[in-house]
């Protein structure tokens, strides 16, 4: 069953949705990707024979990292986009996969509109900008169209995005995860060989506590934790250059020390980072030699060293 069919079948009759069709292209067809049993009784057969998802590498991708946050509103997608661009500027073939089915951000961040084509193998072909390949649910539905789906359909669409995209050879794929520690995170950790997880948080205690929940979740599913990124760490006044820790300081660093996890870097609280993201030209592209872009570049280098990538 293809993505387009999922959209048509899962929207209630009283909800209208703008659907972009793959004109003159064949529809992707899938068997039951979750391997659900036909009877209510739990099958007493081995996992492989039940058809449950098996952890595997994404084809033609050398390394996969996930950028996650257990709390929304901490700037995770902006950081994921800038990290992908920082890797690309260092000569790595890089892609980014937006796994947020309900609120995709990558089309806006990369200033991409339109719909992907299908390859001769019936694989989705990523859209590219700024030297980074990308795929997102936002390319498959209208910009203002809500995705009104139940969990099972969300997981089917996610599986297609994970396994039915023709990346064409990547050194690194960045997975931008939705906030939280729910179905999407669990599905990815069970189905994909992930080389490491990066957790994004702001400095304040509430955000740090939620970030540790994310750390513990990935630990339970055996995904290596590469470290944490502290976003909006400090505000530097553009007039007097005085530094102010608007969201406080200390809790996240303390948690990193307690868990023996590296703090991969700090991203300052700077309105220009938000402005760059909103106009579809992330900071690493908008001001590649600036201090803010250098901060993203240093974090990318730290991550590359941890997963064995040659980051120049």
Q: Which residues lie across from 66 on neighbouring strands?
A: 175, 197
Q: Which pLDDT belongs to residue 152? A: 79
Token reading at 85 = 């661009």
pLDDT at 48: 53
Domains of the chain, start order: 3-307 (3.40.50.300)
pLDDT at 159: 86
- Summarised one tens digit per residue, pLDDT across range 4-62 is 444 444 445 444 444 344 443 344 334 433 232 344 444 444 555 555 567 889 999 99
In this prediction, residue 284 carries a pLDDT of: 96
Give the residue ranges of the chain where pLDDT is below 50. 1-11, 13-45
- Residue 243, SS3? strand
Edge-to-edge strand ranges of the sheet holding 132-136:
127-129, 132-136, 94-98, 170-176, 61-68, 196-201, 225-231, 263-267
Give 77: exposed, middle or buried? Use CB within 10 Å, 0-12, 13-18, 19+: buried
pLDDT number for residue 15: 43
pLDDT recorded at residue 28: 37
CA dist 248 and 203 (Å) reads: 6
How high is the pLDDT of residue 37? 33
DSSP for 92-119 reads --EEEEE--SSS--HHHHTT--S---B-
Q: What is the pLDDT of residue 193?
A: 94
């Amino acid at each position: 069953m293809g993505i387009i069919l999922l959209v048509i079948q899962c929207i209630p009759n009283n909800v209208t949705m703008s659907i972009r069709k793959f004109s003159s292209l064949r529809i992707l067809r899938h068997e039951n990707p979750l391997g659900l049993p036909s009877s209510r009784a739990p099958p007493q057969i081995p996992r492989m024979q039940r058809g449950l998802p098996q952890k595997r590498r994404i084809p033609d991708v050398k390394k996969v990292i996930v950028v996650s946050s257990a709390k929304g509103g901490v700037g995770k997608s902006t950081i994921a986009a800038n990290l992908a661009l920082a890797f690309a500027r260092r000569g790595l073939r890089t892609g980014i996969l937006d796994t947020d089915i309900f609120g995709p951000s990558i089309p806006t961040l990369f200033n991409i509109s339109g719909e992907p084509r299908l390859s001769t193998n019936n694989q989705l072909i990523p859209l590219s900008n700024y030297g980074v390949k990308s795929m997102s649910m936002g390319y498959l539905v209208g910009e203002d169209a809500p995705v009104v789906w139940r969990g099972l359909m969300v997981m089917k669409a996610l599986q297609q995005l994970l396994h039915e995209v023709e990346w064409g050879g990547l050194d690194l794929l960045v997975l931008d995860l939705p906030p939280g520690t729910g179905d999407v995170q669990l599905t990815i950790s069970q189905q994909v060989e992930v080389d490491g997880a990066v957790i994004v948080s702001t400095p304040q205690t509430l955000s740090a506590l939620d970030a540790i929940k994310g750390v513990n979740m990935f630990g339970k599913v055996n995904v290596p934790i590469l470290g944490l990124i502290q976003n909006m760490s400090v505000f530097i006044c553009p007039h007097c250059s005085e530094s102010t820790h608007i969201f406080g300081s200390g809790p996240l660093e303390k948690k990193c020390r307690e868990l023996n996890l590296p703090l991969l870097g700090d991203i300052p609280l700077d309105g220009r980072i938000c402005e760059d993201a909103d106009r579809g030209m992330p900071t690493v592209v908008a001001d590649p030699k600036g201090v803010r872009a250098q901060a993203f570049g240093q974090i990318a280098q730290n991550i590359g060293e941890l997963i064995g990538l040659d980051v120049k």
